[in-house]
Structure 1
């Protein structure tokens, strides 16, 4: 899975969060509900309204609900009549706004489906990455993903996508094309491709595709063999993809690593812990504290895949699960951190699916780095702060192939530090058994 560091389209964290997963079975009706209330609200828009209230009431991290009378909120919600689900959704969002927490949010069925598709680390489609070529102004294939219908059908990087099921892609945006290409597993799609001046019509059957969130390659930097790994999000498949990358690079006899978390908006809490354990043999990873003050400490468990020198690249868009991993590596002196201040999100969410296909994300805990640092609204300060100029940012944005090369100032600085061996080796701490995470404890 040796690939370049080209960007690909991802849903933005501000809209639906980073990578998370649906929860295990949850109780949709709180114990306060009587049978008569349940019967009265069944199949009514009010049912979803009260389910959301119940979940927030039982799980939300702030027991004072941002100084709101949460019981009065419920009374007000149930005193209204809702003529449609959409009207109920508006009322739910207005009620949640009282918490002043952008991460506790309601998702309609379409938003929730998009979220679960992303966080599963899988999509139903044909398995291509594409871009709108700046020169030709045509949709162009960047890569056919491993084991995908596209790769098996012979689609190649550089192929132009001229039509999708007979619909011309002229002036079509990447996101709009993606919506047309994705679809139910097992359904058929026809693409017209342009290749070397010839047009090719291909019929493909959509399948479940594991989305690559880890890209990696071996770089020869002077006399150093550097394993460069870029992690774009902490999806359900991120940890297994990271393990494959480290093992592959170990087999290529690298002598150091650069882990690039720039632009990574976060993901599964469990994935961040599992990946931290691939780099750390001992030491704490993260501590979470819920509304009742219960502390849960996640620790390394002697399963590190490498002890080679490591540099981590971060920026202002490295958030949540990225900060858990960065904080663990920094506090344990396992890596030197290079870049700019991270985003500063130290909250954990739980995600619930509701019976009508909508969903709710609820902030359930606060987290702290191994040294007990609260990074919320502050972020993590790199060991080596290096801001990119506007010109440098524009150059990397317009030429993604330069990311992770000597033309990338932050990467180049990391290589210089690794070459000088100026940072501490991993400390030896007493081994502690890790505490297990619940299926619905998520970080995004």
Structure 2
């Protein structure tokens, strides 16, 4: 069994569907096929709200058949191997499929082996993740009785870098409502060095952290989880003995000053030190899973040394195989992996690919690294972090029409955009191949 298509797309997520829809709607492409095994397409940005009890999970799901563009052939199968030298994709059930042009957009996958113990703990008991089971997150937050609420993330690239802290801000509000906040320490432990990479947004978020009395712990590299003892184990990403400052207090009579580049708003939660590892005891934990490119992509000639799809940062064309393009979470682009980034990547891929197909020369439409992270800071409040490859704050002029003068500040209109506006645009415009 084998078949051939002019344009073959791997992935029926946001990126794959939008590329197919725009190719067909705007460029009248005739022979477009999409390889996608799943029956259901999810609007994942709403999962943050699901995890906080503010959105119905069922409303984030639609049948895959309903988002497949008219005119695209749906190959309901799994890609298992890539052979770009011979323009061939291997599949689980449909044999080899050949193509003239390939668009690789399968998203990312989770590799729990990178944090031993996390896979066993995940989505059970008091360990949760909006990335994998937001309904379980809401159960954990709802049933939390106090203690240490640990919010953390691995050091791999993850979907939406802001998501691990958004759920923390909402959970902290819920703890106030449920009456457990006064007997709770909220801790955010990250391998990063700042709360957010965009200065204007970081300033706002630090005010939120102050208002909510949250302990930030930087340079914390999550290396293991002990589900039985409820300990998250970290290694420090910076020498903790330098400069006479301490990161870990708790020793008797220790008067040394705390290093604020490590810990901001220190809380004396229970910790265990074991060699160079540092364990935080949690009563609930939310994390993003360690993320990698799907195995069939990692095992192919299409990846860079870090194991992500090696595409040109501006044109989205593959650096070695000119008839291959890639976008979305699988692409090795130095920007945040978000649906908003995909919204700006798609027209670049579509225009450059269309030129290649019809005029046989390379398009020069360029992607500037735009991404955005809607940072929900409370029920009814949001900041919209929009930025480019250089972490410049780049607000969308369309927001001025919503009467939002500064999207780096908290605003209820941005919450309305997140909860109602963006899902509407997604299903009714983006999935249909319209420019938004």
TM tier, shorter chain? under 0.3
State the TM-score, normalized to the length of structure 1.
Answer: 0.25
State the TM-score, normalized to the length of structure 2.
Answer: 0.25
